[in-house]
Amino acid sequence: MTETKTFGYVRVSTKEQNADRQTVEMKKLKINERDIFIDKASGKDFDRPQYQALKAQLRKGDLVYISSLDRLGRNSDAIKKEWEEITREIGADMVVLDMPLLDTRKYKDTMGNFVANLVLQVLTFMAQSEREKILARQKEGIAVAKAQGKHLGRPQLNLNTLTKQQRADLEANYTTWKAKEITSVQFMEILGLKKNSFYKIISEYEESK
């Protein structure tokens, strides 16, 4: 008989957001760190590398924890489709920590399934509605900014706009990189920078030394 496994899924919307709170929740459940899958990506769809890796590992009888339904996704139809695939086609269980009714281990009878499905419908609708509100506010903000003649787009990345963590990682790894003990690609990954931004920041840093 194949041993069942317990997994945790964590998602934050951007690389700048911290996933620690959700990860700590998973560790409190005694989930092995290697079985916690973390995506830093939008919840608009499920084209996320860690989510897809988790799904590929799931087998009948396995268990997946998520902290809240909006961490799974923001698109109502897509959430319901993924939920159905995991719980019915694969046969794994799902638990939403902040919504006890969304625990497929508890509700196996007809009435239980009806209640859980109703809650899922409501929450997925709310998750999508929240996303649509956010997008609408963003569009309104862009329209106002354009009307006022303000510059739009990302602020110019430079040494002064690095986060405290990026600055600390830069200073901690610069000498190692110069000694060729780590590659430029590895250094870029540590800093979370793309090639052009990386060399621009390095040039500014060297000039400031």
75 close to 82: Cβ distance less than 8 angstroms = no
Yes or no: say if 83 and 123 are a contact pair by the CB < 8 Å rule.
Answer: no
DSSP 55: H
CB atoms within 10 A of CB 33: 9
Q: Is 172 helix (H, G, I), strand (E, B) or coil?
A: helix
Task: Count Cα neighbours of 154 within 13 Å in the Cβ-side half-sphere.
Answer: 5
Could you list the active site residues?
Answer: 13
2: three-class secondary structure by DSSP: coil
At 43, the amino acid letter reads G
Which long-range contacts does 157-161 make (Cβ < 8 Å, 24+ apart)? 157/193, 157/197, 157/200, 157/201, 158/200, 158/201, 158/204, 159/201, 159/204, 159/205, 159/208
Distance (Å, rounded) from C-alpha 10 to C-alpha 50? 9
